[in-house]
Amino acid sequence: MADKIKLLPDSVANQIAAGEVIQRPASVVKELLENALDAGASLINLIIKDAGRTLIQITDNGSGMSATDARMCFEKHATSKIKTPEDLFNLNTLGFRGEALASIAAIAQVELKTKTADEELGTEIIIEGSQFKSQENCSTSIGTSFSVKNLFYNVPARRNFLKSNPAEIRHIIEEFQRVALVHPEVSFNFYNNGNVVFQLKSAPLKVRIAQVIGQKNYEEKLVPIAEQTENLKISGFIGKPEFARKKRGEQYFFANNRFIKHPYFHHAVESAYSELIPDGSIPSYFIFLEVNPEDIDVNIHPTKIEVNFTDKQLIYAVLSASIKKALGQFSLTPSLDFEQEDSMRFDFPQDRPVRPPSIKINPDYNPFESEQPEPDPRRESNQTNWDRLYDFETSSTPSDSSDSFSSTESLDSPDPAPSENTEWAASSMDMIPEEESDVKVGSTTFIQLGFTYVVSSLKSGLIMIHQQLAHERILYEKYLEQYENRQIASQQLLFPVNINLSVEELSFVKEIEQELKGFGFDLEYFGQTGIIINGSPMDVSEGKIPSIIEEILQNIDLGHDPGQERKKAFARSMARQLAIKVGQKLENHEMDQLTDALFSCKVPEVSIDGEPIVKTLSLDEIRSRFLQ
């Protein structure tokens, strides 16, 4: 039999190897930024075109390279940073495998211009798909400039694998931010398609953090942390608890100046905050850990951001303690006030009289008017829901009743299955609306309790509906349905609304622009990170727009929220912002419509956050209270 094994040509082998180091434009940006920093640059310019597909150019004022080094740097395992095997265990230089440039040159068209301080002329090299095209002397300033053009031009499969431009830009911004945070002493400029994305002057760390996050007065939200033990140094800044938001993205760990992800240490931080921030919120942090290089497992791929520490538990403990100390020192706890947050979801405190709401409502305003086209197509499901309530209560036995109402419904996927106490129809009572002949809710009388609950009597007890959760559910289903049927009408605003965003938020907005439009938001961009909303969904007032956009940005986790989930997150955000609130007085006809609309929903019993919307108090329970 003939021999089959052949050696791959170098160009193919290089392309394969390149795939490990360079997955996307952001990987090129990371490698080139790190090289520039290793070369001692104090100013680095990054220029991107088409999210890095057509051009990534990085210019630095670092040491530059001699003509020979300039040629050598593209060779595999060419590095000036490792001379002995021991150097492998030193993480102080960033790239340490001499692979990045060889990889980039294998899958792109690269132009290098470089000059050292003691040379008259610099060197210009062009290399494409690992093939040297030219090498010439050139006049250029001290330092190095790499232009990486048409990334993956010779690997179509990889090129096709890239995501949308906004998504790729977001990855680039992420890498850039990580590097810029570690080097506040270095100035950076970052342009995308000719627009400034970042202009960062050399600054103290606290200022750099604010620059990178791109929010005004961000410094005021930060508290320093500092701790030193024999083998560990912790420094950096953490966010004051009151500014913790639901959004991820402002959580940074650096180990010996490399960005890392470490769920275990993240837990240490979260636990230190646990009493101080509402559930679901995530504190911001920018924490620098310094350990002996031997205490980090370097046997990891240089592009990976997961690392292993020899003494994780100790670091966890010191970290948690130092955060508590920092928060304590700045006596941040007294300024916390969760009352507002809580009052959104829970009963009014028993020991205080219920204050009338300060909100005035227009008696003519009918929040549900627009949802009730005639003839009401939802009437059918409304009737069914009430009928089921009727049927269930009269036909089921206590033993099989536990999952009756909700499990017959095809639950919308993000809505968790109702928990035990949401099985409001589970009692064995005859929960029949009082007028048996006509179970439609329109004929029932409602009272409002504590400006929170809509209560009505059924034949065998009481039914209580949480007004805010109910309205959220109604609006959620309405927006979702309208979006799917492309029915959301947009109104042009008389006074467009300007919103300033952080750089990251802006890239989020760009990524979800289509959905925003689909939901009726007409927007344009202005300045570096601003957007102008010119149009909004019909029933959204101007004043509500910024909070809706903020809520959407907080709720959309782009990493985990592709396609389907996104529109749900949108609908959820709009519903949350626009729903009537706890504390709002409802007129009789409003309670009527609220209940009617709720029972027209697909999932009337579970809130959009998985909480119960409806509870019942059976006649038996009421009776038992009297007997005692």
Which spans of this chain sit near ligand ADP (rule: CB under 6 A)?
31, 35-36, 39, 60, 62-65, 73, 78-81, 95-101, 144
Q: Which does 460 bind (CB under 5 to 8 A by kind): Mg ion, ligand ADP, none?
A: none
Query: Closest separation between CB of residue 278 and ligand ADP, Å?
Result: 44
Query: Closest separation between CB of residue 291 and Mg ion, Å?
Result: 22
Respond yes or no on whether the N-terminal peptide bond of residue 156 is cis (omega within 30° of 0). Answer: no
Contact region with Mg ion (CB under 5 A), list: 34-42, 254-262, 282-290, 516-524: 34-42
By CB under 5 A, residue 35 contacts Mg ion? yes
- C-beta neighbour count of 4 within 10 angstroms: 5
Query: Closest separation between CB of residue 299 and ligand ADP, Å?
Result: 16
Of 74 and 476, which CB lies nearer to ligand ADP in the complex structure? 74
Q: Which helix (H) or strand (E) holds 128?
A: strand 122-128
Q: Which does 62 bind (CB under 5 to 8 A by kind): ligand ADP, Mg ion, none?
A: ligand ADP
Query: Closest separation between CB of residue 143 and ligand ADP, Å?
Result: 7
List the interface residues with Mg ion, window 416-445 (CB under 5 A). Answer: none
Q: Which does 79 bind (CB under 5 to 8 A by kind): ligand ADP, Mg ion, none?
A: ligand ADP
Query: Closest separation between CB of residue 253 and ligand ADP, Å?
Result: 22
Q: Which does 214 bind (CB under 5 to 8 A by kind): ligand ADP, Mg ion, none?
A: none
Q: Return the SS3 of 513.
A: helix
By CB under 5 A, residue 27 contacts Mg ion? no
Question: HEC string of 4-53?
Answer: CCCCCCHHHHHHHHHHHHCCCHHHHHHHHHHHHHHCCCCEEEEEEEHHHC
* Exposed / middle / buried, residue 134 (Cβ in 10 Å: 0-12, 13-18, 19+): exposed
| CA–CA gap between residue 573 and residue 537 (Å, rounded) | 13
| CA–CA gap between residue 320 and residue 308 (Å, rounded) | 18
Of 145 and 577, which CB lies nearer to Mg ion in the complex structure? 145
Query: Closest separation between CB of residue 93 and Mg ion, Å?
Result: 8
Q: Which does 73 bind (CB under 5 to 8 A by kind): ligand ADP, Mg ion, none?
A: ligand ADP
Of 255 and 465, which CB lies nearer to Mg ion in the complex structure? 255
Contact region with Mg ion (CB under 5 A), list: 28-36, 190-198, 526-534, 614-622: 28-36
Phi, psi of 146 (to 5 degrees): -110, 125
Of 63 and 406, which CB lies nearer to ligand ADP in the complex structure? 63
Q: Which does 182 bind (CB under 5 to 8 A by kind): ligand ADP, Mg ion, none?
A: none
| CA–CA gap between residue 79 and residue 101 (Å, rounded) | 10
Exactly one of 29, 47, 56, 100 binds Mg ion (CB under 5 A); which one?
A: 100
Query: Closest separation between CB of residue 118 and Mg ion, Å?
Result: 23
Q: Which does 322 bind (CB under 5 to 8 A by kind): Mg ion, ligand ADP, none?
A: none
Query: Closest separation between CB of residue 69 and ligand ADP, Å?
Result: 6
Q: Which does 78 bind (CB under 5 to 8 A by kind): Mg ion, ligand ADP, none?
A: ligand ADP
Assign residue 220 a region (left: φ > 0; alpha: ψ between -120 and 50; beta: otherwise). alpha
Q: Which does 499 bind (CB under 5 to 8 A by kind): Mg ion, ligand ADP, none?
A: none
Amino acid at 508: F
Quick one: which of 91, 33, 29 has its CA closest to 307? 91
| CA–CA gap between residue 176 and residue 154 (Å, rounded) | 26
Tokens read off for 574: 């709009």
Query: Closest separation between CB of residue 100 and ligand ADP, Å?
Result: 3
Query: Closest separation between CB of residue 59 and ligand ADP, Å?
Result: 9
Tokens read off for 429: 């009572």
By CB under 5 A, residue 144 contacts Mg ion? no
Of 39 and 213, which CB lies nearer to ligand ADP in the complex structure? 39
- C-beta neighbour count of 77 within 10 angstroms: 9
Q: Which does 80 bind (CB under 5 to 8 A by kind): ligand ADP, Mg ion, none?
A: ligand ADP
Tokens read off for 303: 């592009």
| CA–CA gap between residue 374 and residue 570 (Å, rounded) | 27
Q: What is the DSSP letter of 416?
A: P
- Bridge partners of 259? 254
Cα–Cα distance list, 281 to 274, 466, 555 (Å): 10, 24, 11
Helix, strand counts (H, E) of the chain: 19, 20
Amino acid at 374: E
Query: Closest separation between CB of residue 57 and ligand ADP, Å?
Result: 12
Of 39 and 276, which CB lies nearer to ligand ADP in the complex structure? 39
Q: Return the SS3 of 615.
A: strand
The alpha carbon of residue 617 and the mean position of all alpha carbons in its chain are separated, in whole angstroms, by 40
Of 96 and 453, which CB lies nearer to ligand ADP in the complex structure? 96
Query: Closest separation between CB of residue 21 and Mg ion, Å?
Result: 9
List the interface residues with Mg ion, window 37-96 (CB under 5 A). Answer: 95
Of 95 and 433, which CB lies nearer to Mg ion in the complex structure? 95
Q: Which residue is nearest to Mg ion (CB)?
A: 95
Quick one: which of 573, 578, 576 has its CA closest to 516? 573
Edge-first strand listing for the sheet containing 530-537: 490-500, 530-537, 522-526
Of 35 and 109, which CB lies nearer to ligand ADP in the complex structure? 35
Residues at the interface with Mg ion (CB under 5 A) = 35, 95, 100
